[in-house]
Amino acid sequence: MIKDYSDIIDLERPVSRFPKMSRQARAAQFAPFAALTGYEDAVKEASRFVAEKPLLDDHEVERINQILRDAIEFDDAVDLIIFEPDLHKSGGRVSRVTSRIKKIDETERKLVLENGRQIILENIIGIKTEDSSLDQVPW
């Protein structure tokens, strides 16, 4: 029994009771989605490189301390190589800071620079003034 739909072929299209959707809203239904929320961020974080903190021997630490004392006494600018720990995973990065030293806070073991920045003394891994060198930097 073949039906030719002659009874409905000339009828008007039914009107929906819902308002018409815009093209953008309709397209958004078929847009791709992230099934794993935060996965891309986790991959980026895992692939971000952090360095291990170089370890200094007692001789290198004493040399850094002596150069710091001399820099304060003679009001010399210092070029510091510091290790900045990463806030999210173990390790960190090595950076360079140049400034004059305002004071050394012995109780908190911090170096206070002229611009107000504070650096933890244990994070200094190299130092240079006009009269010294960075030959003790361990890399």
Quote the mean pLDDT of the chain: 86
106 pLDDT above the threshold of 70: yes
Which candidate, 51, 44, 45, places its Cα nearest to that of 84?
A: 51
In the block, residue with structure tokens 């971000």: 48
pLDDT of residue 135: 46
Instruction: List the chain domain ranges.
Output: 58-128
Q: pTM (2 decimals)?
A: 0.62
Q: What is the pLDDT of residue 117?
A: 92
Q: Is the pLDDT of residue 6 over 90?
A: no
pLDDT band at residue 132 using 50, 70 and 90 as cut-offs: low
State the Cα–Cα distance between residues 18 and 21, nearest whole angstrom: 9
Bridge partner list, 105: 110
Q: Are the CB atoms for 113 and 100 separated by under 8 Å? A: yes
Fold of the 58-128 domain:
SH3 type barrels. (2.30.30)
Q: Is the pLDDT of residue 127 over 50?
A: yes
In this prediction, residues 109-133 reach a mean pLDDT of: 87
Q: Predicted confidence band at 26 (pLDDT cuts at 50, 70, 90)?
A: confident
At 53-87, the pLDDT tens digits run 899 999 999 999 899 988 888 888 999 999 999 98
Average pLDDT estimate for 102-124: 92
